[in-house]
Amino acid sequence: MREWTREERYRELKSPEEIRKLHERNAASVYRQAYHVQPVTGLSSDPNGFTRYKDVWHLFYQWCPWGAVHGLKYWYHVTSRDLLSWKNAGVGLYPDRDFDNRGVHSGSAITAGGKLLLFYTGNHRDENWVRTPYTCAAVLGADGKPEKLPAPLFGPRPDCSEHQRDPKIVWNAEKERYYIFLGAQTADGRGSVLIYTAKDPLGAWTFAGQLKVPGYESFGGMWECPCITRLGGKDVLIFSPQYTLLPGRGESTNHNIYLVGTMDYDTLTFTPEGDYRHLDYGFDFYAAQFASGVEEENKAILIAWIGLPDNHYPTEEEDWEGSMTLPRTLRLENGKLLQSPAADLASLRERELTKEEPLPAACELSVDLPESDFELALFTGSDGSGGLRLRYDAAKKICTVDRSGMDKRFNEKVGERLDVPFDAAPKTLRVFIDRSSTELFFGEGEAVFTTHSYPTERERNYTASAGVAVRGWALKPSVRDDFVI
Ligand code: FRU
């Protein structure tokens, strides 16, 4: 693993020419994604400002231009008409002001007064590297480029730690007010959300108080990327709690969970109706955010980073890493989220696979599952050994996903085996394999499992136990890898 100095990580990009060669090298990788958004160069992490505006989907991602390293962050902009074909639109937000001098960190978008507004964290550091996070805004101009407000909307609270970031803006029609949910850590190190409110989203904001979530007063050390939406007559709160182990999640200390319940804007209380659940049971899934109310009220589309903070991935050797998940449409059923791919992926099908042929680098599998124990192994060698193995235990209603058999192993210490629990046996499975990721949608989407996967040349086969019926299609690419800065 390459060691980076702070100077290298926080170097400012002065001209596209500085990274043109890097782009050529990155784009030539065999692990470059075919139908997932990925970094134009270097590293992509959290999705930001995901929304639909004037019939175009806008998505930004946390971007570090220089390589597979978390350093000076920009918002890189991509657009789509159908959530399937994505075009690079260039840098959205540069860390070019004193209040964001060490990074334009995560945030969200909303349409107000006919304009697309972006809210983000200005990560300011002084010469002693002391951090002051500011909540800032920008407005998308007619030229498609965001223009920043000259000053931040507000600074940090003195009664919390330096970890205060990732504004999620929402409009509350009943109160006729805007609210910002801001991820935070209390002074004594507990994860929290701070709530601010305003009549005018670009005007004066006041601190309303700390979000109360009964039962979650002491749950993790920082809640990154909080996000809330209305769905099916309920409120859904998601966040990424850090610095804590959770049952069944191996040694990982970074998670992404959701709660279904009711948000009371008078008492600033979110009352959950049941236990938390994982948004995704996979190894590599974090910082999810909704685009909500964008096509119709009560509709929410979710997207996340395929990756985790503190983790390392094999393409680091090629100086790039990261990818977005497929956007997912959410439904709520019996207090549980059901997730399904939002885009019409069937339109990417090139041809149906024959039984004998090896797995193409980008493909979809549609699998009928038996109610008994079963095993499905993807990316095996020609003798059926190794690979990414799914084993279902019908008595326990648990599917264990094991990636320890892959040639390219990574983050072994965090864990290479994870369980997916089911209320009822899943009858079907849709698998979306891209060049460096695999997403498993079980049943109607009651459980989803996302992992990076880097199969080698010889890992192109699969095996299925009796009763498992697999159909597959090769998929055409739908993302453009153009060098647009
Ligand atoms: C989550 C996160 C956010 C922050 C951003 C910086 O991965 O740590 O809290 O805004 O990444 O890149």
| DSSP string for 3-53 | ---HHHHTPPP--THHHHHHHHHHHT-TT--SSS---SSEEEEEEEEEEEE
Instruction: Compute the distance from residue 455 Cα to the ligand 1 centre, in Å.
Output: 28
Return the residue whose CA atom lies nearest to atom 12 of ligand 1.
105
Is 102 touching ligand 1 by the criterion CB < 6 Å?
Answer: no
Output 355 or 365, whichever has higher pLDDT.
Answer: 365
pLDDT digits (tens, 9 = 90+) for 12-55: 999 999 999 999 999 999 999 999 999 999 999 999 999 999 99
pLDDT digits (tens, 9 = 90+) for 180-210: 999 999 999 999 999 999 999 999 999 999 9
For ligand 1, what atom is nearest to the CA of residue 107? 10
Spatial CA neighbour of 283 closest among 437, 408, 399, 427: 437
Band (299; pLDDT cuts 50, 70, 90): confident
pLDDT of residue 17: 98
Query: Coil, helix or strand for 183?
Result: strand
Ligand 1 pocket test, pick from 48, 75, 118, 224 with the greatest ligand atom count within 8 Å of Cβ, gives 224
Band (356; pLDDT cuts 50, 70, 90): confident
For ligand 1, what atom is nearest to the CA of residue 62? 12
Is 309 touching ligand 1 by the criterion CB < 6 Å?
Answer: yes
Query: Coil, helix or strand for 151?
Result: coil
Instruction: Compute the distance from residue 106 Cα to the ligand 1 centre, in Å.
Output: 6
| DSSP string for 411-450 | -TTT-SEEEEE-SS---EEEEEEETTEEEEEETTTTEEEE
Is 411 touching ligand 1 by the criterion CB < 6 Å?
Answer: no
For ligand 1, what atom is nearest to the CA of residue 73? 12
**Mean pLDDT over the full length of the chain:** 97
Instruction: Compute the distance from residue 265 Cα to the ligand 1 centre, in Å.
Output: 26
Do residues 364 and 431 lie in contact, with contact meaning Cβ atoms separated by under 8 Å?
yes
The two tokens of residue 307 are 């990756």
Ligand 1 pocket test, pick from 72, 124, 165 with the greatest ligand atom count within 8 Å of Cβ, gives 165
Which letter does DSSP use for residue 156 in this model?
-
Is 255 touching ligand 1 by the criterion CB < 6 Å?
Answer: no
Is 165 touching ligand 1 by the criterion CB < 6 Å?
Answer: yes
pLDDT of residue 260: 98
The two tokens of residue 302 are 């979710």
Query: How far from 159 is each of 180, 184, 290, CA to CA, in Å?
Result: 18, 11, 29
Instruction: Compute the distance from residue 36 Cα to the ligand 1 centre, in Å.
Output: 20
Is 73 touching ligand 1 by the criterion CB < 6 Å?
Answer: yes
Is 45 touching ligand 1 by the criterion CB < 6 Å?
Answer: yes
Distance CA 179, CA 242 (A): 24
Band (244; pLDDT cuts 50, 70, 90): very high
Spatial CA neighbour of 49 closest among 169, 165, 148: 169
pLDDT of residue 298: 72
For ligand 1, what atom is nearest to the CA of residue 166? 10
pLDDT of residue 355: 87
Matching residue, tokens 């920082």: 222
pLDDT of residue 294: 79
Distance CA 105, CA 98 (A): 14
Instruction: Compute the distance from residue 148 Cα to the ligand 1 centre, in Å.
Output: 20
Is 148 touching ligand 1 by the criterion CB < 6 Å?
Answer: no
Is 345 touching ligand 1 by the criterion CB < 6 Å?
Answer: no
Q: Quote the longest CA-to-CA distance of the chain.
A: 65
Distance CA 214, CA 52 (A): 33
pLDDT of residue 143: 95
The two tokens of residue 242 are 């850090």
Distance CA 163, CA 45 (A): 18
Band (272; pLDDT cuts 50, 70, 90): very high
Spatial CA neighbour of 382 closest among 363, 400, 362, 356: 356
The two tokens of residue 177 are 């007010």
pLDDT of residue 27: 98
For ligand 1, what atom is nearest to the CA of residue 105? 10
Band (225; pLDDT cuts 50, 70, 90): very high
DSSP H/E element including 406: none
Instruction: Compute the distance from residue 381 Cα to the ligand 1 centre, in Å.
Output: 37
Is 106 touching ligand 1 by the criterion CB < 6 Å?
Answer: yes
Ligand 1 pocket test, pick from 66, 100, 106, 181 with the greatest ligand atom count within 8 Å of Cβ, gives 106
Is 62 touching ligand 1 by the criterion CB < 6 Å?
Answer: yes
Beta bridge partners of 240: 224
| DSSP string for 331-386 | EEETTEEEEEESS-GGGGEEEEPPSSSPPPSSEEEEEE--SS-EEEEEEE-TTS-S
For ligand 1, what atom is nearest to the CA of residue 183? 9
pLDDT digits (tens, 9 = 90+) for 389-437: 999 999 999 999 999 999 999 999 999 999 999 999 999 999 999 999 9
Centroid of chain to Cα 111: 21
pLDDT digits (tens, 9 = 90+) for 459-474: 999 999 999 999 999 9
Is 105 touching ligand 1 by the criterion CB < 6 Å?
Answer: yes
Return the residue whose CA atom lies nearest to atom 8 of ligand 1.
224
3-state secondary structure 190-202: CEEEEEEEECCCC
Matching residue, tokens 């859904």: 236
The catalytic residue positions are 46
pLDDT at position 295 over 90? no
What is the separation, in whole angstroms, between the first and last Cα of the chain? 27
